[in-house]
């Protein structure tokens, strides 16, 4: 998918706050072997060396655009590679900490994926994941609504945006079924306040709208964006706009 680091970074404070909440769940230890799945620009990954002294940290992401920035942050103990999460899981590499912030929601079938991730965690190691869980919010519903109108409906054909994020308790079950201890799973609402519908559009352009754009021919993309913006303006008529953004946190040791 075509990620745009500049667009994504427009809401830097709002997008990085959950990472620091995730970091609070990480047991601070030295000299770990760590991987960050879907590390993006690597800016948040680069917070890890201070928190986990002496650790060997790897960030992987499939987006060359995002990794361009990450590459500038490399040190002898912090490395970034272009690779999909699925490819990473096919390798034999194992880690003391697998961390992932706002990335695994883009992978399918979490019932299958999480056990695969857990299988790459060394004995005594930890999993710490954050995924957005607000796919039932109006901002997402409106994307689906526009996608169901013509000419987009015909262009998408049988494609529809699939949301892989499970209920919180399902993640707790997976952790338990795979011998997790110190299981912590919870959902947190981030009370985002945005200037207006235009700002919500910009927010969605950086993430939720990306797959809808990817699956449309270029000549239909502008029209889709205009229709989506119109729908958002119809719903968010007042300023500011309150956007209660739900995120799920999952942590366990193994
Ligand atoms: C919302 S960004 C989060 C980036 C970073 N973790 C952060 O918190 O700033 C999601 C990232 O996941 C990456 N991503 C999504 N699906 C992926 C996959 N299957 N394999 C590797 N990277 C993936 C995207 O390229 C993007 O950089």
Measured in degrees and rounded to the nearest 5, phi and psi for residue 32 equal -90, 160
The total of other beta-carbon atoms located within 10 Å of residue 114's CB is 23
Domains and CATH numbers, the chain: 5-253 (3.40.50.150)
Range in 10-14, 36-40, 207-211 the model is least confident about: 10-14
Q: Is residue 183 within 8 Å of 176, Cβ to Cβ?
A: yes
128 lines ligand 1 (CB under 6 A): no
Residue nearest to atom 10 of ligand 1 (CA): 103
132 lines ligand 1 (CB under 6 A): no
Residue 227's contacts (CB-CB under 8 Å, 6 or more residues apart) are 146, 149
Q: pLDDT digits over 204-226, tens only?
A: 998 899 999 999 999 999 999 99
Band of residue 253 on the pLDDT scale cut at 50, 70, 90 = very high
Task: Give the SS3 label for residue 10.
Answer: helix
Q: pLDDT digits over 129-185, tens only?
A: 999 999 999 999 999 999 999 999 999 999 999 899 999 999 999 999 999 999 999
Question: Helices in 72-196 by DSSP H: which ranges?
Answer: 85-90, 110-118, 138-147, 152-156, 168-177
Q: pLDDT digits over 42-55, tens only?
A: 999 999 999 999 99
CA atoms of 163 and 132, how far apart (whole Å) = 10
Band of residue 72 on the pLDDT scale cut at 50, 70, 90 = very high
User: For residue 8, what pLDDT is reported?
Assistant: 67
For residue 122, the CA-to-ligand 1 centroid distance in Å is 23
Instruction: Name the residue of 41, 47, 61, 67 to mutate for ligand 1: max ligand atoms within 8 A of Cβ.
Output: 61
40 lines ligand 1 (CB under 6 A): yes
39 lines ligand 1 (CB under 6 A): yes
């Amino acid at each position: 998918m075509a990620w745009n680091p500049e667009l994504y970074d427009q809401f830097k404070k709002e997008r990085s706050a959950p990472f620091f909440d995730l970091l609070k769940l990480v047991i601070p230890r030295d000299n770990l072997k760590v991987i960050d799945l879907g590390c993006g620009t690597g800016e948040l990954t680069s917070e890890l060396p201070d928190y986990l002294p002496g650790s060997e940290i790897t960030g992987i992401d499939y987006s060359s655009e995002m990794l361009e920035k990450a590459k500038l942050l490399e040190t002898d103990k912090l490395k970034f590679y272009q690779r999909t999460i699925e490819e990473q899981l096919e390798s034999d590499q194992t880690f003391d900490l697998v961390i992932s912030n706002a990335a695994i929601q883009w992978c399918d079938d979490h019932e299958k994926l999480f056990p695969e991730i857990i299988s790459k965690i060394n004995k005594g190691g930890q999993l710490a994941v954050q995924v957005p869980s607000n796919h039932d919010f109006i901002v997402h519903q409106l994307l689906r609504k526009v996608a169901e109108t013509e000419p987009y409906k015909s262009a998408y054909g049988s494609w529809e945006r699939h949301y892989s994020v499970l209920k919180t308790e399902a993640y707790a079950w997976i952790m338990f079924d795979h011998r997790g201890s110190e299981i912590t799973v919870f959902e947190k609402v981030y009370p985002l306040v945005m200037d207006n519908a235009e700002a919500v559009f910009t927010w969605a352009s950086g993430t939720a709208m990306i797959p809808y754009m990817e699956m449309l021919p270029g000549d239909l993309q502008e029209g889709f964006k205009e229709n989506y913006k119109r729908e958002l303006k119809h719903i968010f008529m007042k300023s500011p706009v309150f956007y209660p953004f739900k995120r799920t946190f999952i942590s366990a040791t193994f």
